[in-house]
Structure 1
Amino acid sequence: MTSLTTYAIEEQLVEFLTAKTKVVWEPDVDLFASGVVSSLFTMELVVFVEGAFDIAVEGPDLALDNFRTVRAMSALVTRLRVEPSGV
Structure 2
Amino acid sequence: MAEDTRAVVGQFVRGKMPKVELGDDQDFFELGFVNSLFAMELVMFVENRFGLRVPNDELRRENFRSVSAISDLVDRLSPAREPVPQEATA
2:5 maps to 9
**CA–CA distance in structure 1, aligned partners of residues 41 and 79 of structure 2:** 23
SS in 2 for 1:42: helix
Rg larger in structure? 2
How many aligned residue pairs are there?
A: 79
Q: Looking at both structures, which has the greater relative contact order when contacts are Cα pairs under 8 Å and sequence separation is at least 6?
A: 2
Gaps of at least 5 residues in structure 2 are 81-90
TM-score, length basis structure 1: 0.81
Q: CA RMSD in A?
A: 1.4
Larger CA deviation: 38-47 vs 51-60: 38-47
TM-score, length basis structure 2: 0.79
Cα distance per residue 1:10-29 (max 9 Å; x no partner): 11111111111213421110
Q: Which runs of 4+ in 1 moved over 4 A?
A: none
Gaps of at least 5 residues in structure 1 are none
1:70 maps to 67
What does residue range 8-87 of structure 1 map to in structure 2 within 5 Å? 8-22=4-18, 23-82=20-79
